[in-house]
Amino acid sequence: MSPRGIFCWILFFCLPLLSAKEVVVAYYNLENYLPMPRVLGGKRVENVPKPESEIEALITMLKRIRPDVLGVVEIGDQAMLADFQARLSAVGMVFPHSEWVASPEGGRHIALLSRFPIVERNSRHEVTFELDGLYHRMGRGILDATVEITPDYRLRLVGVHLKSRRAVPAFDEKKFRAREALLVRAHLDAIFKTDSSVNLLLFGDLNDTKNESPVKDIQGISGSRSAMRDLPLRDAHGLVWTHFWSEADVYSRIDYLLASEGLWPELKLSRSGIGGGREWRLASDHRPLYTTISTSE
């Protein structure tokens, strides 16, 4: 082969490595991927894991997206996370790197799985605040991890799961969620104070719609360098809901991907969306969100 031919052969096989690298980041509320009381055969049984049929449906939903980085909420302990990793690996979605945040309230935790190395860990599992004269802790803490996608590109991910909308006797759940949101905003402000152009993606279940103050507070002041922009995600049918509350037959959007101003130009919104398929309801009461990021922008 001539030198020119050798050069063309090398160029042909190396072009994919030199071209723009794109990665898919997804987020999913797994709905109780943990042992808990469940109703089996009409009877309440303690300490029952998530049913196999539901887990298989989760995996099927994720196979359609095939993320490179995956944030999840409502995962159980680290053994449950390892179980989930193994099941994903068995179908070709290998995530050798992970971050898991211990939930102060126990049971449901936040986690991150990544094909790429996690090079910084700034998660917080003990975040306290005062409400009506009493001190409380954020129920699930704040996940904060940075992945190195290429030697020249890092992506910082913050994961949250705010207080549910279920009433509790100990406090006002709306006030509690509002205070959690302010703590998340303070965490984001601290990040932006260090690096105003950071590539930052927030994922999570905020348990409120976009018109409510917790979501607005986390987003921050529109147009400012510390603002987080809401990704306008839709499913294949143009629908935006992410959660179905079966007790009231209510569909709503309470799950979000929010991006920093520095990250926004690198998002490929035409290859972003809300996962669908007939398995969605068996898998979880939430649907997965995903976005594509170009690391060469």
Q: What is the pLDDT of residues 203-215, one digit of tens each?
A: 999 999 999 999 9
Q: Where are the alpha helices (DSSP H) in the chain?
A: 3-18, 52-65, 78-90, 173-194, 213-219, 280-283
What domains can be seen in the chain, in order of their start residue?
A: 20-294 (3.60.10.10)
Q: What are residue 200's phi and psi, to 5 degrees?
A: -125, 130
Task: Identify the band that residue 297 occupies on the pLDDT scale cut at 50, 70 and 90.
Answer: low
Task: Identify the band that residue 171 occupies on the pLDDT scale cut at 50, 70 and 90.
Answer: confident
Mean pLDDT of 57-74: 98
Give the mean pLDDT of the chain.
Answer: 92
Mean pLDDT of 161-172: 86
Task: Identify the band that residue 270 occupies on the pLDDT scale cut at 50, 70 and 90.
Answer: very high
Q: Identify the pLDDT of residue 4.
A: 46
Q: What residue has token string 């959690």?
A: 180
Q: Identify the pLDDT of residue 55.
A: 98
For the chain, state the CA radius of gyration: 20
Contact present, 283 and 60 (Cβ < 8 Å): yes
